[in-house]
Amino acid sequence: MAEFLLASSGFVLAMVAVGLIRVLHGPANADRMMATQLFGTGGIAVLLLMAAATNVTALIDVALLMALLAAFAAVAFVIGGARSDGPDPEGAERS
Amino acid sequence: MSLVLDIFTVVAVGAGAFFFLAGTVGLLRFPDPLTRLHALSKADNLGVGLIVLGLLPRADGPISALKLIVVWLLVQSAGATVSQLIARAARRGMSQP
């Protein structure tokens, strides 16, 4: 069973790594952010699978932290983009 | 009973890994940002959800299982919020060529 869990964790990691091609090609910054978002969720899945495969429960805490940081990264991207890109298309919600 | 739980784990984790495959393929192949975001949120919600579901029978105790569910809920709510924010950023990018 541990082998299966480790193998699927490797598979998810490979998928996420392939998805990072989007970071290289873009074209927009939002697309690059989507790839890093996928990296965040994929990393969480990899950590959870490894925690189950190796019985190291501390990895679940690392996954929790990664979930938090992935959300913060995206929010920081959107706030930074709003500052540099001009007005919001949906009107003046942000003062 | 243990065999049934093992089969459940294999099926759910396999399905979750499949959704990650689908999310990656969608992210790479879909034509515009909003469809790519659509593919991505499938991987976020269903992929991690199914993997957590598959790992639940293998958790050490109720606390550990609860923690897995909390990770899932955090990913869900963060994914929903972030999808909205990124979609807005993508729209802003499209309206300013």
Q: What is the pTM of this model?
A: 0.85
For chain A, domain boundaries: 2-83
Work out the burial of residue B5: count CB atoms within 10 Å of its CB; fewer than 13 is exposed, 13-18 middle, 19 or more buried.
Answer: middle
- pLDDT for residue A95: 46
Which amino acid makes up residue B79?
G
Tens digits of per-residue pLDDT, B26-68?
888 888 888 888 888 877 788 899 999 999 988 888 888 898 9
A 10-69 → B contacts, CB under 8 A: 11-12, 15-16, 18-19, 21-22, 28-31, 33-35, 37-38, 41-42, 44-45, 48-49, 52, 55, 57, 60-61, 63-64, 67-68
Q: What is the DSSP letter of A16?
A: H
pLDDT digits (tens, 9 = 90+) for A27-47: 777 888 888 888 888 899 999
Given a contact cutoff of 8 angstroms between Cβ atoms, the answer to whether B50 and B12 are in contact is yes
| Letter string b/e over residues B40-78, b meaning 16 or more CB atoms within 10 A of that residue's CB | bbebbbbbbbbbbbbbbbbbeeeebbebbeebbebbeeb
